[in-house]
Amino acid sequence: MSRCGAGPRGGHTGGGFPSRPTRGRKWAAGVRMAHPPRTHPGGRPSSHPGGQSDGRHDGQPASHPGGHPGGHPGGDGLLPDGGRRLQLLAWETTQACTLACPHCRADACPSRPAGELTTDEGRRLLAEAARVGPGIIILSGGEPLLRDDLEDLAVAGTAAGHTVVVATNDGLLLTRERIASLQRAGVRRYSFSVHFPDEEGQDEFTARPGTMRATREAFARLREAGVGFQINTTVMRGNAERLEEIRRLVVDLGAAAWHLFFVVPTGRASTPPRSAPLTDAEIEKVLRWAAGIEASAGLPMKVTCAPQYARIKAEMGLKNTQRGRGCMAGDGFAFVSSMGEVKPCGYFDLSVGNVRQTPFDVIYREAPVFRDLRQPDRLEGGCGACAFRKVCGGCRARSLAVSGHYLGDDPHCTYPASQQKK
């Protein structure tokens, strides 16, 4: 992820693909690839993004990549290599943000840096994404409402056949007028981040007084307009014991879904202060609690960045409500930074190409990292030996962040198979 006005974090660049006129392909330098790239023709886009939102999917809003409003698009279309067609695309429309949350994977800044994708480049990105979709487009940030062309982008996404949603932060900029204009442009749902059940905790965490009050007021305006919203909560040491309080609040506020996220050490979260992650055993405890209440929670729940949730539900004899593997990075899900860099997800701190150089659909189909991630049999270590690798797969971004190897073990998993080679 690029810092404001700086180059990409960790020395990774978007130069893994050649410029658009070039026919040959180059791939991200310095990345260990399990297999050489192979070119596949693109399939036709599916006929519709499908279905009403039910909150059951993976994604990334503003401070955490994951957290996308709406549900999975309909259909089970596959790419020629067996991977899933694009279901969700999180586009970080800007790195600028009005908050300063300590867990922010974007390392966001107060004003928009130079070089972010333009309106025309955004329209082109959305058209290219439709060739391997269409799917749900999450207009994220930073704070996407800081872009005055957000309506133009929503119109373009809707015209391309996508379902367009917006991941805002506290809703302070979401006035009645903006809600109406974005609704006319085709925006179907919003997501917000609420990490504490009280004003004191939320305001301190976001480093801005009045955050919780602004969020509640935005919820009221959305309810008035008949527009749905979901709430995302990042689980960490400071709030793990208050999740039941937060759940009751989310239900009382009238949210359409509640998504729980687990910290991946990227961006500001790589040196966590208040956003310190839980231990492996504590994560397991929270996931078992979530699995036990999901059916009676009062609204749809979804767990993101803890794909072992699928294994835990199986062990508890509960139905897996998520299609495919728990980690969708590069396999149904993709992320595009404000500068055009493409990654398997927002937490995955490795660019595999840039849409200014190569069409998004070509990157999505052909990038070797993406193709590795679509094949659970390419996983290594404990994850590769695990009986649940095809329903869980481990968090690939966390594996990359901790070990530098995206096909290795998920360091937060406690299952015996994943422990055997640590």
* Cβ atoms of 101 and 268 closer than 8 Å: yes
Report in angstroms the alpha-carbon separations of 264 from 63, 115, 206, 366: 11, 27, 18, 26
Supply the pLDDT for residue 322: 75
Residue with structure tokens 């840039």? 354
Cα 357 from Cα 363, distance rounded (Å): 10
Section 282-302 average pLDDT? 96
Task: For residues 32-40, give the mean pLDDT.
Answer: 32
Strand partners, 420: none
pLDDT score, position 39: 32
What's the average model confidence in pLDDT over 253-267? 89
Q: Mind listing the pLDDT tens digit for each residue in 384-414?
A: 999 999 899 999 999 999 999 999 999 888 8
User: What confidence tier does 177 reach under pLDDT thresholds 50, 70, 90?
Assistant: very high
Residue 267 has what pLDDT?
Answer: 54
pTM of the model: 0.81
3-state secondary structure the chain: CECCCCCEHHHCCCCCCCCCCCCCCCCCCCCCCCCCCCCCCCCCCCCCCCCCCCCCCCCCCCCCCCCCCCCCCCCCCECCCCCECCCEEEEECCCECCCCCCCCCCCCECCCCCCCCCHHHHHHHHHHHHCCCCCEEEEECCCHHHCCCHHHHHHHHHHCCCEEEEECCCCCCCCHHHHHHHHHHCEEEEEEECCCCCHHHHHHHHCCCCHHHHHHHHHHHHHHHCCEEEEEEEECCCCHHHHHHHHHHHHHCCCCEEEEEECCCCHHHHCCCCCCCCCHHHHHHHHHHHHHHHHHCCCCEEEECCCCHHHHHHHCCCCCCCCCCCCCECCCEEEECCCCEEECCCCCCCCCEECCCCCHHHHHHHCHHHHHHCCHHHCCHHHHHCCCCCCCCCCHHHHHHHHCCCCCCCCCCCCHHHHCCC
Sign of CA dihedral 213, 217, 220, 222: negative
Cβ atoms of 73 and 135 within 8 Å: the answer is yes
Over residues 10-34, the pLDDT tens digits come to 332 233 333 343 333 444 433 333 3
Asked if residues 55 and 300 have their Cβ atoms less than 8 Å apart, the reply is yes
Residue where the block lists tokens 């998504």: 259
